[in-house]
């Protein structure tokens, strides 16, 4: 009998992190609920989880910068990625009508992504909470008849709520990218065509451009560059770069050449591109 993968997520069941985990692994997994991203890393570090699913960027809110630091500090391996469309619905107890509603509750980012909807209903009191799914669960647990949650369809199914309004997000092309983390690097994934790396360069004119040109010369496409200050060091930065390629040999050549011009170079993970939304 195949052992269920233990996947640590930030949030509770039916959160967007669990939805992302289901999309990557399928539903036959054991979800480990965590109240913070750091806690997910602690579970993986101790061996209580096999994987972590961690949000790394949103097409509207941008990058989750502290998560880059967590991945680097724990030295976890990025073994995959998954893109999830963020579809937000207004959820209520069965029988509740929209005219009964006085309060809307959700995660602050989810609330900000629905501003156009709330502009039409200024009488609604908006209350921020730590997790979209937790808001839905609270409505079910406390049988709140004057409160609705903004959450996903998974939360509606799990907590037995009705959908009062579908797709209330302002931008219908909103998505979040999640990384799949493992404690150790794995050689099982042979069909790699994407990588996430981290490095520093000297504080001299053209130092970063020289490194980026090496990738360009080897036809390696840089899909993202993110800089983060080195804690306690003035004018020193970590550069986090995502890249993809068609020719593995050219990518490996680019990596070898790059080592000469960087310090604290780290391949955080090599994996298969998975950008279908």
Q: pLDDT tens digit string along 59-90?
A: 888 899 999 999 999 999 999 999 999 999 99
Return mean pLDDT, the chain.
94
Domain 194-271: give its CATH architecture. Answer: 2-Layer Sandwich (3.30)
The CATH H-level (homologous superfamily) assignment of domain 5-86+174-182 is Periplasmic binding protein-like II (3.40.190.10)
- Report residue 95's pLDDT band, with 50, 70 and 90 as the boundaries: very high
What is the pLDDT, as a whole number, of residue 214?
A: 98
User: Could you read off the pLDDT of 11-22 as tens digits, one per residue?
Assistant: 999 999 999 999
What are the residue ranges spanned by the domains of the chain? 5-86+174-182, 89-165, 194-271
- Report residue 175's pLDDT band, with 50, 70 and 90 as the boundaries: very high
H or E stretch at 119: helix 115-119
Cα(228)–Cα(71) distance, integer angstroms = 13
Number of H helices, E strands in the chain: 9, 15
Tell me which CATH code domain 89-165 carries: 3.40.190.10
What is the pLDDT, as a whole number, of residue 203?
A: 84
Q: What is the largest CA-CA distance in the chain?
A: 66
- Indicate whether 2 pLDDT > 80: no
Cα(43)–Cα(34) distance, integer angstroms = 9
- What value does the mean pLDDT take over residues 7-32? 96
User: Could you read off the pLDDT of 179-204 as tens digits, one per residue?
Assistant: 999 998 876 557 899 999 999 998 88
User: Could you read off the pLDDT of 245-271 as tens digits, one per residue?
Assistant: 999 999 999 999 999 999 999 999 999
H or E stretch at 211: helix 207-217
Tell me, yes or no, if the two domains 5-86+174-182 and 89-165 fold the same way. Answer: yes
What is the pLDDT, as a whole number, of residue 187?
A: 63
- What value does the mean pLDDT take over residues 215-235? 93
């Amino acid at each position: 009998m195949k052992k269920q993968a233990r996947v640590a997520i930030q949030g509770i069941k039916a959160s967007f992190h669990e939805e992302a985990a289901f999309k990557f692994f399928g539903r036959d997994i054991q979800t480990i609920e965590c109240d913070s991203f750091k806690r997910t890393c602690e579970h993986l570090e101790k061996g209580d989880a096999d994987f972590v699913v961690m949000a790394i960027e949103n097409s509207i809110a941008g990058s989750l910068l502290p998560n880059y630091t967590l991945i680097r500090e724990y030295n976890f391996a990025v073994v995959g990625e998954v893109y999830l469309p963020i579809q937000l619905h207004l959820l209520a107890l069965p029988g509740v009508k929209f005219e009964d509603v006085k309060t809307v509750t959700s995660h602050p980012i989810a609330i900000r992504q629905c501003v156009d909807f709330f502009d039409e209903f200024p009488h609604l009191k908006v209350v921020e909470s730590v997790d979209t799914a937790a808001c839905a669960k609270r409505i079910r647990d406390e049988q709140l008849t004057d409160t609705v949650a903004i959450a996903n369809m998974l939360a509606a199914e799990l907590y037995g709520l009705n959908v009062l309004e579908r797709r209330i997000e302002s931008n219908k092309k909103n998505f979040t990218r999640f990384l799949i983390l493992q404690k150790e690097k794995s050689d099982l994934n042979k069909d790699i065509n994407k990588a996430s790396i981290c490095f520093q360069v000297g504080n001299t004119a053209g130092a970063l451009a020289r490194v980026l040109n090496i990738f360009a010369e080897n036809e390696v496409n840089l899909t993202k560059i993110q800089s983060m200050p080195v804690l306690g060091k003035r004018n020193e930065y970590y550069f986090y770069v995502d890249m993809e390629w068609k020719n593995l040999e050219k990518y490996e050549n680019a990596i070898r050449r790059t080592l000469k011009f960087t310090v604290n170079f780290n391949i955080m993970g090599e994996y298969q591109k998975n950008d279908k939304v």
